Amino acid sequence: MDPKDIVTKLEKTLGVGRADHFGHYISQIAKPGYSYKRSDFMDVMQMCCVAECDLFRCDKAMENTFRGFVPFEGKLVRRFTELPDRIEKLLDKRAS
């Protein structure tokens, strides 16, 4: 299974640039030691919206899975308690 083929097929339905994270996810879960959770499928599906978001709440496991994935850089928030600080930093950055 080639992640690039899957991304290309998904882009026909989801739109270009909205499926790259599926390829990243597949390449990450193929690595030894990955522990799949039943919630992964819906988490990855919901991440189709990250491109349009400034911040996106996800669980710790998904944040770790997508660490280093450039299109999501700086957008993922793994704890609700981190949201206020992240929002303030984003607002301060935009005000500068």
- Per the structure, the complete domain to which residue 40 belongs is given by 3-95
- How many CA atoms does the CB half-sphere of 85 hold within 13 Å? 7
Asked whether residue 51 carries a pLDDT value surpassing 90, the answer given is no
Average pLDDT over residues 77-96: 95
Average pLDDT over residues 15-25: 90
- Count structural domains, the chain: 1
**Local confidence band at 3 (pLDDT 50, 70, 90 cut-offs):** confident
Minimal CA–CA distance to 22: which of 38, 35, 49, 4?
4
Residue percentage of the chain with pLDDT more than 70? 99
Asked whether residue 60 carries a pLDDT value surpassing 80, the answer given is yes
**Local confidence band at 80 (pLDDT 50, 70, 90 cut-offs):** very high
